[in-house]
Structure 1
Amino acid sequence: RGEDGTAIFAMSDQKDVALEIHVTNLPSDPAEPQRDGDDAHEAVLTATFPEELPYSAVPALCPQDKPVVCLANQNGSQVECELGNPLKRGAQVRFYLILSTLGITLQTTDLAVELALSTISEQPGLEPVVARARVVIELPLSVTGVAVPPRLFFGGVVRGESAVRRESQVGSAVRFEVTVSNRGQSLKTLGSAFLTLQWPHEISNGKWLLYPLQLELAAAPGSRASCSPAANPLLLALVGRWAGVGRW
């Protein structure tokens, strides 16, 4: 929960979330229980859900517990649950509603579920209750990298930047293959993930150490990927296709 007591829903790869419901029919004043707290006839809970979090199911309870019967509308935006006819004086009912998270997107920042009790018995001040939660998206991203070849040896004449015109003049090439993967579910919406790469750029005298010659991006179909700044800032003439860096 947050500092203000609001629940925080951290979403990663789960497809469902459980909403706990606790309904009581207790006297309003325990010191004078005889004043109220009668049986509640045709007691019903109506829950209304946002489109990002539709109703899915009610899980089975222990055999000794009385099952709660819930009936949902076609799109799962509302469900009515029968709590008892009557719901006895002093009774308590606890059950769970399973809600689907497939509608949650990167733009979803909070969720609100309205819970309303009704009964044909006299029950003054029976106001709806709103269950709120803030949404935090957690994507299980992983990054791996490998250098090909894993070892390099450099030598020869060190050229100044102004003397280099072609790819062949920057030295031996090394390819760094970096793979970013998402082991969780897709959010079915446009979103961005950023990867920052750092490498030894220059030596103490200002000469290039590793020069970014070319970048190749292989993304999933329908994905858009780009890099900034672009590789090959000196606009050297390229001979082959390299997705790595050279040295000079």
Structure 2
Amino acid sequence: APRGDDGTAVFSLSDQKDVALEIHVTNLPSDPAEPQRDGDDAHEALLTAAFPPELPYAGLRPYDGRAPGPVLCLANQNGSQVECELGNPLKRGAQVRFFLILSTLGITLQTTDLAVELALSTISEQPGLEPVLARARVVIELPLSVTGVAVPPRLFFGGVVRGESAMRRESQVGSAVRFEVTVSHRGPSLKTLGSAFLTLLWPQELPSGKWLLYPLHMELAAPPGRGGPCSPPANPLGLALVQP
């Protein structure tokens, strides 16, 4: 995963169903220059990983075919913790690499960072085995696209200039132009990722303060239950509209 300025991994999520956490465990001498001073086989070597509710354990994936032996992982019922047997013993000088697969289904728009605690244990003498915290920031990316077209594409302004207080009917605000805006989402349903909002800006008034484009009507065409009201509503002056 890419990393931020402080070195923290950044997850850019769009439609991924899972992410992989790479695990690399070594049983090497503490001083490579004097390997004979220490370094023994680690008996009943075990990795315990604790996951946040937003990122439960989903599975195990081997790193490559060169691992010294198969890694066995056993998770609890809700996937908040997993214990992985690394070897009995994990030989002196051995290295074990594999991936823990984590589900992203619990991540929402409110999720900004994630932390996984990793703890090693062995019945052999091994001082200084402190838990390690793997942190990541979360960025939600939705594959949205917006297109717009004006119908008609060209207008000419003219006629009598009226003050706002003199406006009573739709016919007094000039020629109508219809702006059709289409928002497309190429990914899966948002589900727990919340809602998408679109902000529209248009040239509302002239330097003199007179209306240039007046919003008469806004219509949201969306499947039932998918759309919401536009705010603020159109026709702020309450003009009498021509019935379609």
- TM-score by structure 2 length? 0.86
Task: Output the CA distance in 2 between the equivalents of 1:90 and 1:155.
Answer: 86
- Deviations along 1:172-221, one digit per CA (max 9) or x if unpaired, are 32221112233334453474544332223234544332211111223454
Q: Are the structure 2 counterparts of residues 84 and 141 from structure 1 closer, same or farther at C-alpha, using a change threshold of 3 Å?
A: same
Task: State yes or no: 1:164 paired with 2:173.
Answer: no
Task: Output the CA distance in 2 between the equivalents of 1:31 and 1:60.
Answer: 31
Task: Answer whether contact 1:17 1:101 (CA < 8 A) is retained.
Answer: yes
The 10-residue stretch of structure 1 (151-160 or 197-206) with the greater mean CA deviation from structure 2: 151-160
Task: Output the CA distance in 1 between the equivalents of 2:209 and 2:124.
Answer: 85
Partner of 1:196: 199
Taking only aligned residues, the RMSD between alpha carbons, in angstroms, comes to: 2.4
Task: State yes or no: 1:178 paired with 2:178.
Answer: no
Partner of 2:55: 53
Amino acid at match of 2:44: E
- Cα drift, residue 63 of structure 1: 4.1
Map 1:134-149; keep pairs closer than 5 Å: 134-149=137-152
Percent identity at matched positions? 83
1:127 to 130, 133, 144: 130
- Cα drift, residue 236 of structure 1: 0.5
- Cα drift, residue 162 of structure 1: 3.4
Q: Are the structure 2 counterparts of residues 155 and 114 from structure 1 closer, same or farther at C-alpha, using a change threshold of 3 Å?
A: same
Amino acid at match of 2:24: H
Task: Answer whether contact 2:63 2:97 (CA < 8 A) is retained.
Answer: no
Task: Output the CA distance in 1 between the equivalents of 2:52 and 2:190.
Answer: 17
- Cα drift, residue 117 of structure 1: 1.1
Task: Output the CA distance in 1 between the equivalents of 2:25 and 2:171.
Answer: 76
Task: Output the CA distance in 2 between the equivalents of 1:185 and 1:104.
Answer: 14
Partner of 2:71: 68
Helix, strand or coil at the partner of 1:122 = coil
2:22 to 10, 20, 23: 20
- Cα drift, residue 170 of structure 1: 2.1
Displaced runs of 4 or more, over 6 A: none
Task: Answer whether contact 1:53 1:104 (CA < 8 A) is retained.
Answer: yes
Partner of 1:245: none
2:237 to 209, 234, 237: 234
Q: Name stretches of at least 5 consecutive residues in structure 1 with no aligned partner.
A: 242-248
- Cα drift, residue 38 of structure 1: 0.2
- Cα drift, residue 101 of structure 1: 0.6
Helix, strand or coil at the partner of 1:58 = strand
Task: Answer whether contact 1:104 1:187 (CA < 8 A) is retained.
Answer: no
Task: Answer whether contact 2:152 2:178 (CA < 8 A) is retained.
Answer: yes
1:90 to 89, 93, 115: 93
Between the two proteins, the alignment pairs up a number of residues equal to 241
Task: Output the CA distance in 2 between the equivalents of 1:61 and 1:137.
Answer: 27
The 10-residue stretch of structure 1 (193-202 or 133-142) with the greater mean CA deviation from structure 2: 193-202
Task: Output the CA distance in 2 between the equivalents of 1:121 and 1:207.
Answer: 83
